[in-house]
Amino acid sequence: MQTILCAYAPNVKRDHMMISRTDIAFPGEGDVTLRGWLYVPSGEGVHPAISMCHGFAAVKEHRLDRFATAFAEAGFVVLVHDHRNFGSSDGTPRHDIDPWAQIADWRRAISFLETRPEVDASRIGIWGSSFSGGHALVLAATDRRVKCVVSQVPTISGFEQTRRRVSPDAMQAFLASLTDDLRDQHRGAPPRAQAIASADLSEPAAYRAPEAVAFYLLDLGDASWQNTVTLRSTFAARIYEPGAWVSRISPTPLLMVIANDDRVTMTDLELEAYERALEPKRLTLVPGNHFDPYDAQFALASSAASRWFVEHLAALNG
């Protein structure tokens, strides 16, 4: 267990406090153990809680510790877990993404929080970013245990993202590679793999943008992460449409944090989804690209989320 001395997030007025961070494990769907961190603020009694997880092929060490600490500073118990097949969590094949399995696992994370003695089970919220920002929309629309949701730079439409990010000249070959991979697996071959992020055009990769390469290739210390992901993960992402659920989230309070130059999950798709969401809702527009909320715009993104959770989760009667 680690103990962290913290100052509270911007605009959340509290004194310094001690926060403990403990390694935890809990069962996911099927025979898979999920692992992560549990942050507990000092003070007696139970606390409202927030469950968090990361986006496409990332692990909790990709800047989620900063958000979790900010939320714990605001008085919340915070659970951050690695998705199955990634990081410290179990699961095979490694580096393989199924969005619906990740959502099912996230429900298990909520169930785990409900059992914790530090947690007020009637006040649990969720925070997701990028691919898991899309998961957060689906989960909030389908699980009424979620009492508050923050969706940061979320995936809205896998189809539209693919259509815009793959050039028309390359699309036929791109789709053929996905289909050939499915055929090979039917014949017994293992799933093909590609880099998650690479500036080398000779290397197949999910992301090319310099900001994506910089984010994914951060020095993560001893974290278990490799710059590889199955090609069928891209196939699954292409047919994933979490934006279809956004109008069904109400009456759960929804905050969307959107970057004004997001070329990964597309600013205009996110803004259109926000318009379709029903009240109560709030939009925080931050300057910069898809990855800036984790770093250059962290103070703005984290404080907006902290205020939303304080307003709509901490204020609930437990």
One digit per residue, pLDDT tens: the chain, 318 residues? Answer: 554 434 333 333 344 579 999 999 999 999 899 999 999 999 889 999 999 999 999 999 999 999 999 999 999 999 999 999 999 999 999 999 999 999 999 999 999 999 999 999 999 999 999 999 999 999 999 999 999 999 999 999 999 999 999 999 999 999 999 999 999 999 999 999 999 999 999 999 999 999 999 999 999 998 999 999 999 999 999 999 999 999 999 999 999 999 999 999 999 999 999 999 999 999 999 999 999 999 999 999 999 999 999 999 988 865
Domain layout of the chain by residue ranges: 2-157+241-314
- Please state at what angle helix 131-142 crosses helix 99-115, rounded to 10 degrees: 60
**Measured at the alpha carbon of residue 237, what is the angle toward residues 245 and 208, in degrees to the nearest 5?**
125
What span, in angstroms and rounded, lies between the C-alpha atoms of 280 and 204? Answer: 42
pTM of the model: 0.94
Largest distance between two CA atoms of the chain: 61
Which fold, 2-157+241-314?
A: Rossmann fold (3.40.50)
- Give me 303's structure tokens: 């404080």
DSSP 8-state secondary structure symbol assigned to residue 98? -
Which of 124, 131, 101, 134 minimizes the C-alpha distance to 34?
Answer: 101
Pair 81, 35: CB distance under 8 Å: yes
